Chains A and B, each alone.
Chain A
Amino acid sequence: MTASSTTQPHALLDELRTVGSDLPGLGSDVPPSQTWADRRLHYRMVGPLNRRKFTVVVVGTGLAGAGAAAALGELGYNVESFTFHDAPRRAHSVAAQGGINAARARTVDNDSIARFVKDTVKGGDFRGREADAWRLAEESIRVIDHMNAIGAPFAREYGGGLATRSFGGVQVSRTYYTRGQTGQQLQVAAAQALLRQVSMGQVNLHTRTEMLDLIVVEGRAQGIVVRDLVTGKISAVTGDAVVLATGGYGNVYYRSTLAKNSNVTAAFRAHRRGALFANPCFIQFHPTALPVSSEWQSKTTLMSESLRNDGRIWVPVKAGDHRPPNEIPEDERDYYLERRYPAFGNLTPRDVASRAARTEIDAGRGVGPLKNSVYLDFRDAIERLGRKVIAERYGNLFEMYSDATGEDPYEEPMRIAPGAHFAMGGLWSDYDMMTSIPGLFVGGEAGWGYHGANRLGANSLLSACVDGWFTLPYSVPNYLAPLLGKPKLSPDDDVVRAAVAEAEAGVQALVDIGGTQGPERFHRRLGDLLYEKCGVTRTAEGLAEGLRGIQELRREFWSDLRVQGRPDGFNQELERAGRVADYLDMAELMCLDALDRDESAGAHFREEHQTEGGEAQRDDEHWLFASAWERADSGETGETGPRYIRHQEPLEFPSVPPETRDYR
């Protein structure tokens, strides 16, 4: 079809997508609270002596990937593990700060597995899969025990028991932590467990190696194509199943809380090969990120949500108040979260807190040189608890803030702003974590399911650990068992050779454009466009403009990209170019999903759909399902862009009946 230039939202939607069919969902009558026990009981098994006959390819060495690779290695499977980092420990799970939730209910604050599920499902605004939340809650208990056993030094009370704290969206204290470096400690422990399997010969670890494509033969995922980032050599690795634990796509916004190299390429190339992509528009903006203060700032560094336990968020009552914060008297400060949400106060969930901050900033009450932030003030907490206690709880976060800004948060309030953070959307998978391509599994942030339209703080380290250590090691063998004795795909097979040749041609195509702008330039512009059109709040008109803007930028990319340097060696420009190419298509899919989903839910806030009080208004009658997107063509970057088919998995909530979220 020819390119039209409509920015009419409905016409554009019709041009880009058709509506597909309903996905089966759970397909069982077992109540969600029993699903996990039931599934495990019915899973097929592979005997200990047969496990060495299978090879599982695991991409990513974060908490989900390292966990899955180590656990499958421990069970006796051969594992090929891949990371683009120089060491497995550097995967971005390492940067999670605040903690990991577990429904251990060791105090009398009335926590329980059922309450954990309720909080998670409600926090996700009823757009996740309820049975997944039950599994998350049940397995959370042994996650803590396991991570403690393999060397993660959790914070302890003076009595020697594990210490906990509170996170947003809950009224109990179930977050386990290690100072402000919980992710680091869990990630390092998981990477060590992985290296233990490497030393035992169970896992073959490939560092500085990036996945470029998925090999699907006879309808099954049977390998991947990778590029050695040091030599530039492209080759294939085959296996009986593939696990993608490759993280989220928040970096599509260019400036985000993610690491610079976090990317969507592995997941997106699986999507090109037929894996459905679920709820791409569900992206969380973290309310406590560092504001952008200059053009060259490379990211909006996260300041842990745990800070909201003791910090109070405020803006001046008067718009355009230029006084330094400490000169603004108490009665001229608006602690807007405490005022609007007295029950949860500064600990409202992230989507609510981000939106409230955006409202204040847009109304001209933002603070800082660019008026794009709000204050997070520790004055009262320091008065109440003393500087020493605050330093013990948040010392490294305060240091990080001082380094980044040159300001001292012990003396004047921090400045924070919403920043792109966590992708609730991801590759669609069934309850067993298998995508729509048989043999292709997903784990951690690369997947969907647990978090609905908004993730609760400290649930992401948990979901990565649960997938890696306690789900995939059960569900992958269920898939492998019937393949025992079946022929395996040879690395010399023509199909494999063709896949390698295709990936080589893809790299060469980027190099051959021979334009004038490096990939970072395109990425920055894409990020700015997305923050504006598909950010904390969205409108149909804005999303339509965003779609057109992305398509224009993509045309420019494919005609004016410059990849400096050689393709056959260590070339970081080439790595970036491939990732930005995928981000351009990913951004289109996000805007399309956001335009399609004609309701507000969790972090997806369409201005057309809000209550009188300005809260997100869901439309359960029409949208009580997860969208799962299929690319209807080969995914080539044509003039009109690809057409998409939206399938849907209907959602049911038998144990937590949908209600309007109310954190007042």
Chain B
Amino acid sequence: MKLTLKVWRQESGAEEGHFEEYLLEEVGPEFSLLEALDKLNDDLVTRGEEPIAFDSDCREGICGACGVTVDGRPHGPQEKTPSCRQHLRSFEDGATVQLEPFRSGAFPVVKDLAVDRSALDRVIEAGGFVSTSVGTAPDADAIPVSHESAEWALDLAACIGCGACVAACPNGSAQLFAGSKTMHLATLPSSSKERGRRAKGITRAAEAEFGPCSVYGECAEVCPAGIPLTAIAGLNKEKLRQVLRNKDD
């Protein structure tokens, strides 16, 4: 099959960007989106042109490194699927497909389709951890966790940290990301002793780095890990709980 790729090119964050069109031939429906970019880059290098910069690593949907906005939708047309697992079978032969970086004020462009998502880690640094040093842990079997709680924590912990939620949000909010982390740790007994402190830290950092949440729900729509909107409700509840109790736990 053939595709026309309309790709955002930008030398660096300091320079203006623009779209360029490339004809991509001899690809097939079994190609992943990123394999199509690999092939295009091979063509570009052969022609002596600069290849397209994009982040990607595991290519199996778990590391969260990749993230391309495809025809205006973060990651691409297939639901609950990161860019590396999007396939050309989603597009019609001969179609024009527009590829842009994840768009958000909090994600400055590094080059072409690669962006700087370090703001997400600054949210984690503000409380998305457990204040337990190595060596002091009690027996993991001594504190029973119900099957249901463990599964719910896992549903929330599935977040791959890609930032699609931010790119999809009209406000550029990271509440789905922040909610998934907060609720995952609040659900488990070993990490629930600093719920108040964590809710306060995470919400403050998320508000400082990202936009506010208006519950449009666009984030959950594009999340490759299927994090439910409930995570945001949970985050709000955790924050309210902290405000009312004003305690660390």
User: Which of chain A's residues have a CB closer than 8 A to the CB of B153?
Assistant: 153
Do A299 and B134 have beta carbons less than 8 Å apart? no
Q: Given A145-B139, A181-B158, are A400 and B85 also a contact pair (CB < 8 Å)?
A: yes
Do B60 and A400 have beta carbons less than 8 Å apart? yes
Q: How far, in whole Å, are A565 and B121 apart by their CA atoms in the complex? A: 30
User: Which of chain B's residues have a CB closer than 8 A to the CB of A230?
Assistant: 110
Query: In this assembly, does B23 line the interface, its C-beta being within 8 Å of a C-beta of chain A?
Result: no
Q: Which of A40-48, A81-89, A346-354 contacts B (4 or more CB under 8 A)?
A: A81-89
User: Which of chain B's residues have a CB closer than 8 A to the CB of A74?
Assistant: 133-134
Query: In this assembly, does B218 line the interface, its C-beta being within 8 Å of a C-beta of chain A?
Result: no
Do B63 and A95 have beta carbons less than 8 Å apart? yes
User: Which of chain B's residues have a CB closer than 8 A to the CB of A296?
Assistant: 27, 31, 35, 38-39
Q: Given A86-B65, A151-B184, are A518 and B45 also a contact pair (CB < 8 Å)?
A: yes
- Closest residue of chain B to A176 (Cβ to Cβ) is B140
Interface hits, A474-520 → B, CB 8 Å: 516-518, 520
Q: How far is the CB of B104 from chain A (nearest CB, A)?
A: 15
Query: In this assembly, does B185 line the interface, its C-beta being within 8 Å of a C-beta of chain A?
Result: yes
Do B39 and A181 have beta carbons less than 8 Å apart? no
- Closest residue of chain B to A572 (Cβ to Cβ) is B53
Instruction: Choose among A150, A400, A518 the residue with the greatest number of B CB atoms under 10 Å from its CB.
Output: A150
- Closest residue of chain B to A261 (Cβ to Cβ) is B57
Q: How far, in whole Å, are A520 and B40 apart by their CA atoms in the complex? A: 12
Do B48 and A142 have beta carbons less than 8 Å apart? no
User: Which of chain B's residues have a CB closer than 8 A to the CB of A161?
Assistant: 141, 144
Q: How far is the CB of B95 from chain A (nearest CB, A)?
A: 18
Query: In this assembly, does A119 line the interface, its C-beta being within 8 Å of a C-beta of chain B?
Result: no
Query: In this assembly, does B150 line the interface, its C-beta being within 8 Å of a C-beta of chain A?
Result: yes
Query: In this assembly, does B242 line the interface, its C-beta being within 8 Å of a C-beta of chain A?
Result: no
Q: Given A92-B63, A156-B146, A406-B30, are A565 and B190 also a contact pair (CB < 8 Å)?
A: no
- Closest residue of chain A to B116 (Cβ to Cβ) is A86
Specify which of A92, A160, A301, A473 is in contact with B145 (CB 8 Å cutoff): A160
Do B131 and A196 have beta carbons less than 8 Å apart? yes
Instruction: Please report whether the interface of chain B is mostly helix, strand, loop or mixed according to DSSP.
Output: loop
Specify which of B29, B116, B134 is in contact with A70 (CB 8 Å cutoff): B134
Query: In this assembly, does A94 line the interface, its C-beta being within 8 Å of a C-beta of chain B?
Result: yes
User: Which of chain B's residues have a CB closer than 8 A to the CB of A154?
Assistant: 140, 150
- A540-576 near B? 1/0 per residue, CB < 8 Å: 0000000000000000000000101100011011000
Interface hits, A56-102 → B, CB 8 Å: 67, 70-71, 74, 85-90, 92, 94-95
Interface hits, B122-144 → A, CB 8 Å: 124-126, 128-141, 144
Do B57 and A90 have beta carbons less than 8 Å apart? yes
- B1-29 near A? 1/0 per residue, CB < 8 Å: 00000000001100000000000000111
Query: In this assembly, does B61 line the interface, its C-beta being within 8 Å of a C-beta of chain A?
Result: yes
Do A142 and B59 have beta carbons less than 8 Å apart? no
Q: Given A151-B188, A296-B35, are A156 and B89 also a contact pair (CB < 8 Å)?
A: no
Q: Given A160-B146, A298-B59, are A151 and B191 also a contact pair (CB < 8 Å)?
A: yes
Q: How far is the CB of B142 from chain A (nearest CB, A)?
A: 9
User: Which of chain A's residues have a CB closer than 8 A to the CB of B158?
Assistant: 181, 184
Do B110 and A302 have beta carbons less than 8 Å apart? no
Q: Given A195-B129, A469-B134, A565-B51, are A156 and B150 also a contact pair (CB < 8 Å)?
A: yes
Q: How far, in whole Å, are A90 and B159 apart by their CA atoms in the complex? A: 12
Do B154 and A142 have beta carbons less than 8 Å apart? no
Q: Which of A185-193, A434-442, A625-633 contacts B (4 or more CB under 8 A)?
A: A185-193
- Closest residue of chain B to A91 (Cβ to Cβ) is B63
Q: How far is the CB of B59 from chain A (nearest CB, A)?
A: 5
Do B58 and A259 have beta carbons less than 8 Å apart? yes
Do B129 and A520 have beta carbons less than 8 Å apart? no
Query: In this assembly, does A318 line the interface, its C-beta being within 8 Å of a C-beta of chain B?
Result: no
User: Which of chain A's residues have a CB closer than 8 A to the CB of B39?
Assistant: 296
Do A207 and B118 have beta carbons less than 8 Å apart? yes
User: Which of chain B's residues have a CB closer than 8 A to the CB of A564?
Assistant: 44-45, 48-51
Interface hits, A383-408 → B, CB 8 Å: 400, 403-406
Specify which of A67, A192, A294, A569 is in contact with B31 (CB 8 Å cutoff): A294
A-B residue pair count with CB separations less than 8 angstroms: 226
- A591-603 near B? 1/0 per residue, CB < 8 Å: 0000000000000
Q: How far is the CB of A570 from chain B (nearest CB, A)?
A: 4
User: Which of chain A's residues have a CB closer than 8 A to the CB of B42?
Assistant: 518, 520-521
User: Which of chain B's residues have a CB closer than 8 A to the CB of A183?
Assistant: 62
- Closest residue of chain A to B160 (Cβ to Cβ) is A184
Instruction: Choose among A88, A148, A161 the residue with the greatest number of B CB atoms under 10 Å from its CB.
Output: A148
Query: In this assembly, does B157 line the interface, its C-beta being within 8 Å of a C-beta of chain A?
Result: yes
Do B190 and A149 have beta carbons less than 8 Å apart? yes
Q: How far, in whole Å, are A562 and B50 apart by their CA atoms in the complex? A: 11
Do A565 and B50 have beta carbons less than 8 Å apart? yes
User: Which of chain A's residues have a CB closer than 8 A to the CB of B121?
Assistant: 87-89, 195
Specify which of A86, A158, A260, A294 is in contact with B118 (CB 8 Å cutoff): A86
User: Which of chain A's residues have a CB closer than 8 A to the CB of B65?
Assistant: 85-86, 90
User: Which of chain B's residues have a CB closer than 8 A to the CB of A149?
Assistant: 130, 132, 136-138, 140, 190-191
- Closest residue of chain A to B115 (Cβ to Cβ) is A86
Instruction: Choose among B31, B61, B138 the residue with the greatest number of A CB atoms under 10 Å from its CB.
Output: B61
- Closest residue of chain A to B126 (Cβ to Cβ) is A199
Instruction: Choose among B50, B117, B135, B188 the residue with the greatest number of A CB atoms under 10 Å from its CB.
Output: B135
Do A195 and B50 have beta carbons less than 8 Å apart? no
Query: In this assembly, does B56 line the interface, its C-beta being within 8 Å of a C-beta of chain A?
Result: yes
Q: How far, in whole Å, are A20 and B25 apart by their CA atoms in the complex? A: 54
Do A85 and B57 have beta carbons less than 8 Å apart? yes
Query: In this assembly, does A179 line the interface, its C-beta being within 8 Å of a C-beta of chain B?
Result: yes
Do B124 and A195 have beta carbons less than 8 Å apart? yes
- Closest residue of chain A to B112 (Cβ to Cβ) is A570
Specify which of A67, A185, A259, A570 is in contact with B114 (CB 8 Å cutoff): A570
User: Which of chain A's residues have a CB closer than 8 A to the CB of B235?
Assistant: none
Q: Given A196-B131, A294-B28, A298-B32, are A569 and B63 also a contact pair (CB < 8 Å)?
A: no
Do A570 and B140 have beta carbons less than 8 Å apart? no
User: Which of chain A's residues have a CB closer than 8 A to the CB of B117?
Assistant: 86-87
User: Which 4 A/B pairs are nearest by Cβ-Cβ distance?
Assistant: A160-B144, A149-B137, A148-B140, A518-B45
- Could you give 15 example pairs across A and B, Cβ below 8 Å? A87-B120, A145-B139, A153-B184, A154-B150, A158-B147, A160-B144, A189-B130, A195-B121, A196-B125, A259-B58, A262-B57, A294-B30, A403-B61, A473-B134, A520-B42
Q: Which residues of A come within 8 Å of B, CB atoms?
A: 67, 70-71, 74, 85-90, 92, 94-95, 104, 106, 142, 144-146, 148-151, 153-162, 178-179, 181, 183-185, 188-189, 191-193, 195-196, 198-199, 207, 230, 259-262, 293-294, 296-299, 301-302, 400, 403-406, 469-470, 473, 516-518, 520-521, 562, 564-565, 569-570, 572-573
15 additional contacts (CB under 8 A) given A87-B64, A87-B121, A520-B41: A90-B161, A94-B58, A156-B147, A157-B147, A158-B146, A181-B62, A181-B158, A262-B57, A296-B27, A298-B59, A302-B60, A403-B81, A403-B87, A406-B29, A406-B87
